[in-house]
Amino acid sequence: MENFKIKTYGKSELALLYFPEAQSKTGALQNLNYWISRNEKLVCELNNCGAPAKAKFFTPREVMLIVEHLGEP
């Protein structure tokens, strides 16, 4: 993806960037959550950011960590 920007993203919004072929926002988010959960170091670093798991957005710091571990969408 060209010009991907580190910024605040809605969780579904970011998930759809990673999984544009998903049939729904929910499906894309489930896939992204699965990828994140399989990366123990990423999970640990996200937990250290202090954001609640139920938050509806990823902060720029969280997006940066996700991109560092999973690559750009």
Chain mean pLDDT for the chain = 94
**Quick check: 37 and 9 in contact, CB under 8 A?**
no
Checking if the pLDDT of 1 tops 60, the result is: no
Pairwise CA distance, residues 25 & 43, whole Å = 21
The answer for residues whose C-beta is within 8 angstroms of residue 13's C-beta and 6 or more apart is none
pTM exceeds 0.85 for this model: yes
Checking if the pLDDT of 49 tops 60, the result is: yes
- Distances from the Cα of 46 to the Cα of 4, 64, 67, angstroms: 20, 10, 12
Share of residues in the chain with pLDDT > 70 (%) = 97
Listed by start position, the domains of the chain span: 9-70
